[in-house]
Structure 1
Amino acid sequence: MTVPMMFGMVSLMLFNVVDSFFVSQLGTKQLAALGFTFPVSFTIISLSIGLSIGTSATIARLIGSGASDKARQLTTDNLLITGLLMMVIATLAILTIDPVFRLLGAGDDLLPYIHDYMSVWFAGAVFYVLIMVSNSSLRATGDTTTPALIMALSSILNLILDPLLIFGWGPFPQMGIKGAATASIIAWGATACLALLNLYARKGLLVLHIESISAAMQHWLTVMKIGFPAALSNMMTPIAAAIMTAVVATNGPEAVAAFGVGNRLESLSLLANLALSMTLPPFISQNFGRGNVARVGDAYRAAVKFALLWQAFIYVLLLMFAGGIGALFSDNDEVVDLISLWVLIVPLGFGFQAVTFLTASSFNALHQPIRAMRISIFRLFILYVPLGCAGNYLDGLQGMFIGFVVANMCTAAIAFWWMRRHLRRL
């Protein structure tokens, strides 16, 4: 189940890279404007991830318990209320673009570009959220290939449409930065329709009626009991990253450059386990719904073993190519040395970091979202940020990197113990 999701996640990463590449051809102001949009757009993305987690856990448990009719009705109601909610959010967001981005520090020279991009992006965000929720519904049935193909198709459509609409190639109008947003919503709109069609025609998880508005709201709130804490947990990561970036900046611009490269390498290094964290929950939820707790425990322990062994393998690979990795990203000797230092220390904790987020996703799958959120809060704000800051104070970047590893090790040990205790109780 995990392998197709890996390719799907790679395609999502390329989606943003493609947008940044083509917008950068327009000029520095347009690229800076696109950078300002990230914190706001990530809020919508976090909401969609939270809804996806709640959807997958709820539907998979219903399927596992044999309540197929209820699963169909909940899937339908959840998508309907989500779509209506996103329309309201998009309308309010479009009306408040200027004050929100002024608050973030955008100047008058960038606001026209931000407005051009976000007014279109917000209007089409409903399609992005519907794709995420539909794909999580498909994964709840055990199908990860179809969601991966849908994500890949979305990225391909965006890649094709971006230059056509940004630069006005052929018969297409030259839309500038607005063209990047238009390309995104066309890609999302087309693939959202495809995802919904799969749910209706292939999986039989959509019905063409609702029982009542109150019942639909109750179903949506059931999903949000898991989805809202998951969304909050997801939003904590960029907040912690922003804090640590500010601390890194005290060591100079070279340190910031190396740290930025490290963050990109981290996403790639953890790719397999990030994909596993999306496919493990429906497996756990279905077996939990069936009452097969022993199989839930087997799956969780197997995932933990894989995470530790796989990340150990990735660490060896990174060590083998440490010097070359630094030179690939910079020709500044100091930056290359700092990247090599990052490679030597930080990936030692990736296996433990993977255990942490696999445990959190497993708690969500077991309908324990508050426990999952506590793990994220504990890791980021009780250990990761404080130990990173303390390490930086005592020994600069080397101390900070060691602090990151210690934080991940301690959190993984506590999370693993907590999950084992919970499974014994079940």
Structure 2
Amino acid sequence: MTILLLFAILFGLMFLRVPIAIALGLSSLTYILISDQPVVLLLHRTIGGMDSFPLLAIPFFIFAGGLMNTGGITKRIFAFARALVGWMHGGLGHVNVGASIIFAGMSGAAVADAGGLGQIEIEAMREAGYDDDFSVGVTAASSTIGPIIPPSLPLVIFGVMASASIGELFVAGIIPGLMMALALSGMVWWMSRRRGYPRDTALDMCNVWTSFRAAFLPLMAPVIIVGGIASGAFTPTEAAVCASAYALILGLFVYRTLNLRRILAVSIETIETTAALMLIVGTASVFGWILTANQAAALFAETMLALTDNKNVILLIILVVVLIVGLFMETIAAISILVPVLMPVAAQVGIDPVHLGIIVILNLMLGLLTPPIGMVLYVLSRVSGVPFKQCVTATMPFLVPLLGVLLLLTFVPQITLFLPELLYRN
């Protein structure tokens, strides 16, 4: 009964548009007061939830992505993607997807992708005569690749909460991320043929080479990050520091597009974003501890196993639960609450934590493309000037290929686990 009250308070506060971190903290505080426990417990658990070395990767990856945006590096990435795939039908749509793959190796967040590349992509597509619906839809959908291809902020949070290897989670996201890109490119091609969108440019190998040379150093960022982690040269947290240092070197000494004022602005933005995320992680860890202390995870596992012990059916139920939660809750908070509940039942039916992490994150990314939360849609509505409702409608067709990839990854775990087993488990 107390747990029902806990959730009632949480969703009531969310309905009143109270920030998710405060809603989680207030609902947890109410439980602590009702159960006659010391209020200081809330502070101890909140601080304990944030006191994790791997979480240090978050501010550095955010800082690196911010430097890439501010330093004009995203424009070089977009130009290279344009030269590489712009010759296809609906060329700029494919460029959109390709640029998201590359930028994913730097930012690790869907909202950063949408905010950083989104404005550049939508403006270019408008100038080329593409409809706003198509431009916004493909930009929103391609931004979800960011949290799947490493480095990924949500995967860092999942790894901490599930005590799973962040390195394995990172390499596990490479193939799924590329599959998402191929599926979205297929959708772009089909829609472009139906609507008669032109090829953006002829394939010119000289232009490809020139744009590749201009973008070579930024393209090395994901290679350094992923290669360093996969080879064991450094941990994900150390990789985040290296990414920030690399972005600083490029912006200050190579391209000379950064100055003290811009670095200070990126630093302030990084501090604000990190503070908000860490507060969510801290309060969500208290909420998760309450669920665990009241055997909510065990009860959920027992209920699931009482319904069925079929692994595929349980995976389908998990997908539905995560999808519903993702519609109403911010990604980091959803991960922090769902992981303690899902891990026991996953362990009992033999679901690999790395496999679970990828499908949970991809599932939650769909929540960023759907109301009422839809953070990516809000960002794109702001940068494009397209009304939010129109952004929602425009994105719906692109959910189809993403859902297809999610189902394939869910029921064929070998796709996700191939690289982790090859690099870490042999």
- Same fold, TM exceeding 0.5? no
Q: Could you tell me the TM-score, scaled by structure 2's length?
A: 0.30
Higher RCO, 1 vs 2 (CA within 8 Å, ≥6 residues apart) = 2
Task: Name the structure with the higher helix share.
Answer: 1
